A and B are shown apart, each in its own frame.
Chain A
Amino acid sequence: MASNTLTLTMTVASEPAQSASDLELARAAAAGSSAAFEKLYEQHHRRVYSLCLRMLGNTSQAEDLTQEVFLQVYKKIGSFRGESAFTTWLHRLTVNQVLMHFRRRGVKLEHTSEEGDFANVVETPLQSTRRISMVDRLALEKAISQLPPGYRTAFVLHDVEGYEHEEIAKMLGVTIGTSKSQLHKARMRLRELLTKKIAATGE
C-alpha cells in the first residue's frame, strides 16, 4: 500500500525535451542577433524568475538576480554547445548565480544552531492529510519563502526543481548527508508553518 503511494510521489519534475528553436535561437544570439536573445528571454524569463524568487524569497532580489542571469546568458551564450538542453544549461546558470549571491552576502547554507532542531512530532489525528491538502499553493509558496536560506535552497532544488542530493551536494559544496538533512528539516518546518496557517485561519 505504502509502496504504491511512494511510486506516485517520487515523480520528479521532468526536463522538457530539447527544443530545436532554443538551440537555433542560442546560436543566432551567439552570432549577435539581439532579436534571438530577446526571444530567449521571452521564452524562459518566467522559469528563471520563479526559481530566483523561490530560492531568495524576495521579489526585488529575484528581479535583480533574473537580470544578472540574463546578462550572464548574453556573455556566455557562445559557450552553450547544445550538448544538453538549453533549459538545463540556463537552469544551472541560474542556480549558480543565486548561490554566488548568497556567498557574496555571507548567507550560510548549512545548518546553524540558531535555526534549531525540531522536536519529535507527537500530535493528534486532527493534523491530517485532509487538513494539509486544504492549504493552497499560495500558502505553500509563502511558507517556502519563510524557510531559512539553507533549508529553502535544499528544498527548492530537490522538491521543486527535481535535483538529486548528489547534484545539490556538489553545487552547495556540502556532503550528501547534509543535503538530505537540510531537506528533511525543510519539510518539517514547512509542515509546521502550514499547520499554523491552518490553525490561524480556522479551516
Chain B
Amino acid sequence: MLCNECQELISEYIDGAVELGEQVKVERHLADCEPCRAVRDDFLQIVHFSHQLPEHAPATALWPRIRAGVAELQPRLWSRPIRWWAGLRTLNFNLSVPQIAAGAAALVIVISIGVIVTQRENRSFQPIDGKVQQADVVPLSNVDVQQLEKRINSLSRSVEERKNSWDPELRTTFERNLYYIDQSLTECRHQLKDNPADDVSQELMLNAYREKVRLLEGFEKF
C-alpha cells in the first residue's frame, strides 16, 4: 500500500469504518511508515479535542431581541379571534370543527365559573332561614368522578394516537385548551382537599371534567 492510498483511508480507519481486509493493509503500512502514523495520530487528536469543545454564550442582548421577536408573533396569533368575529358579523364562517370545539369549551368554562362565582356571592346574602335552591347544584360523587375519569382516560388514549397526524396549529390549540381545563381541575382539587364539603368547588370540578370530555370528544375525530 502506498502512502496516498493509506491516507485516503485514514479517516475511515480511525472511525472504524474500513473493511477488515483494508484495515489489515492500513495497519501493515502504518507499522512501517512514520509520516502516515503522524497523520493518524493527529487525526485522533483532532477528533478527541473536537468532542470536548466548550459551549459558548451569545451576547446578553440576544434574549431581549428574541423576546421582542416573540412579542411580534403574538398579535398574529391573537388576531384569530378577531377574524372569527369578522366572520360572525358577515355570517361568513371559516372555522374548523376543532376551533369551534376549543372555543366552545373555553366559553363554557368561563360561563360556568361566572355562574358559580355569582351563586357563591348571592348565597352570602341569603337569609339564614331562607330556602336556598340547592337543586341546581349537582353534588359530585365518587361514582361520577370515576365514570368521568374512565371516559377521559379512554378518550385521551384515542386522541394521543391521532395527535401524530395533526398539524402543529391544531395540536397547539388542543393542548392550550387542555392546559386550561387541567389547571381548573387542579385548583378544584386543592379547594376540595381543604374543604371536602365545598359544593361550589364540587360543581366547578364536575363542569371541568365534563368540558374535558367534550374537548377530547371534539378532537377525537381528527
Contacts and interface: CB of A to CB of B under 8 A. Distances in A.
Interface in B56-101: 56-59, 62-63, 65-67, 69-70, 73
A9 B70 contact: no
A11 B15 CA distance: 9
Interface residues of B, number: 56
A46 B56 CA distance: 6
Contacts of B70: 34, 37, 71, 74
A202 interface: no
A6 B10 CA distance: 12
A127 B38 contact: yes
A56 to B, nearest CB: 12
Contact of A160 (B53, B57, B168): B53
Nearest to B49: A140
B180 to A, nearest CB: 8
B193 interface: no
B47 A159 contact: yes
Interface residues of A, number: 67
A128 B41 CA distance: 7
B42 A191 contact: yes
B208 to A, nearest CB: 16
A121 B59 contact: no
A37 B11 CA distance: 41
Contact of B164 (A37, A66, A81, A195): A81
Nearest to B33: A122
A47 B58 CA distance: 10
A10 to B, nearest CB: 5
Interface string B17-38: 1000000000100100011001
Contact of B53 (A8, A140, A190, A195): A140
Nearest to B175: A30
B51 interface: yes
Given A5-B44, A81-B164, A63 B62 contact: yes
B52 A137 contact: yes
Interface string A143-168: 01000000000010001101000000
B179 A31 contact: yes
B61 to A, nearest CB: 9
B156 interface: no
B197 interface: no
Contacts of B171: 30, 78-79
Given A46-B56, A127-B38, A187-B43, A67 B16 contact: no
B3 A122 contact: yes
B62 A67 contact: yes
A79 B58 CA distance: 26
Interface of B: 3-4, 7-8, 10-17, 27, 30, 34-35, 38-39, 41-59, 62-63, 65-67, 69-70, 73, 163-164, 168-169, 171-172, 175-176, 178-180
30 contacts: A13-B51, A27-B179, A30-B175, A31-B178, A32-B179, A38-B67, A45-B62, A46-B57, A46-B58, A53-B56, A54-B53, A63-B62, A66-B62, A70-B66, A78-B168, A78-B169, A78-B172, A81-B164, A123-B38, A125-B34, A129-B44, A159-B51, A160-B53, A180-B17, A184-B8, A184-B10, A187-B43, A191-B42, A191-B43, A191-B46
